[in-house]
């Protein structure tokens, strides 16, 4: 599986994504049950509120080989400060529509 991870720009200042990368490497967290090796194609932020750039960034990840788009846990779970993104559903809907279900989607990394 080749994944492209999109993260919240607001958490970038204090989170280097260490747990996201570890979960992907060890097939844990949001990747539990996936039996194949997971390759991270890219790790990029949403572009900032209200997340309108996320769709362009997802497109770029797919262009570069991702078959699965993953939202880092900061987006839908609000990790690590417990503040989920208020635009998460819209971002996911727009990305799914734009990529016409050609890709898989994983909602969180851990
Ligand atoms: S749109 Fe959501 S994910 Fe992106 S910076 Fe704002 S709160 Fe974070």
| Amino acid 102: pLDDT | 80
Would the pTM count as exceeding 0.85? Answer: yes
| Amino acid 104: pLDDT | 95
| Amino acid 1: pLDDT | 98
Alpha carbon of 45 to ligand 1 centroid (Å):
8
Q: What is the domain-level CATH number for residue 56?
A: 3.40.50.2300
Answer whether 5 contacts ligand 1 (Cβ < 6 A): no
The ligand 1 atom at the shortest distance from the C-alpha of residue 88 is 2
Probe residue for ligand 1, chosen from 6, 85, 93 as the CB with the greatest number of ligand atoms within 8 Å: 85
| Amino acid 85: pLDDT | 98
The ranges of the chain with pLDDT < 70 are none
| CB-neighbour burial class of residue 4 (10 A; exposed 0-12, middle 13-18, buried 19+) | buried
Quote the number of domains for the chain. 1
Alpha carbon of 7 to ligand 1 centroid (Å):
8
| Coil, helix or strand at residue 48 | coil
pLDDT tens track for 19-48: 999 999 999 999 999 999 999 999 999 999
Q: What is the extent of the structural domain holding 73?
A: 2-106
């Amino acid at each position: 599986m080749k994944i492209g991870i999109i993260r919240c720009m607001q958490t970038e200042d204090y989170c280097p994504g260490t747990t996201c990368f570890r979960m992907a490497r060890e097939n844990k967290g949001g990747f539990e049950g996936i039996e194949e090796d997971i390759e991270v194609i890219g790790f990029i932020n949403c572009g900032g509120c209200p997340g309108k750039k996320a769709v362009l960034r997802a497109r770029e990840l797919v262009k570069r080989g991702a078959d699965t788009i993953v939202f880092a846990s900061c987006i839908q779970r609000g990790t690590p400060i417990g503040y989920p993104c208020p635009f998460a559903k819209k971002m996911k809907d727009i990305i799914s529509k734009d990529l016409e279900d050609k890709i898989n989607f994983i909602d969180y990394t851990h």
